Amino acid sequence: MTGEEICSIINKHIDECGQPPQFDFDEYEYVSYFENSHGDQSLFLYDSTNNDVIIYLADAGWENPQKLPGHSLLENTISANDIDIGILPDDSEKMWLKACKSAVQFRIDQKTHQDSCERTD
């Protein structure tokens, strides 16, 4: 049924990783969760209102999300420099981030184009 909860995510990290984020999934156009083979948890959120990507990596501290402008995510390949939190993504995390990038690419392109058209009016 529409509107029913699909899942909830349990924080598996120690207290030193901070308070996990609390948000309403409806606030974001795209949400992805990933857990690597070591149990490191990550979240990828696409905020279409501001055309931003927000990435949480629990190992870097839940309270230290990285915000990337959507257009910047598309212009660059995802690298350690794009996520400046002192944690180098492992291969599985890089693959997940690439999949997320692919999933939101059309939305970001559409929003960037819409925003540029509004500025020229």
Residue 116 domain-assigned (yes or no): yes
- pLDDT tens-digit readout, 20-30: 988 888 888 89
Q: Which domain holds residue 47?
A: 25-120
Residue 58 domain-assigned (yes or no): yes
What's the number of domains the chain is made of? Answer: 1
Predicted TM-score (pTM) of the model is 0.78
Determine contact, residues 44/101, Cβ cutoff 8 Å: no
Determine contact, residues 34/15, Cβ cutoff 8 Å: no
- pLDDT tens-digit readout, 70-107: 776 666 544 544 555 555 678 888 888 889 988 988 88
- 77, with CB counted inside 10 A (0-12, 13-18, 19+), is exposed
Provide the pLDDT for residue 98. 85
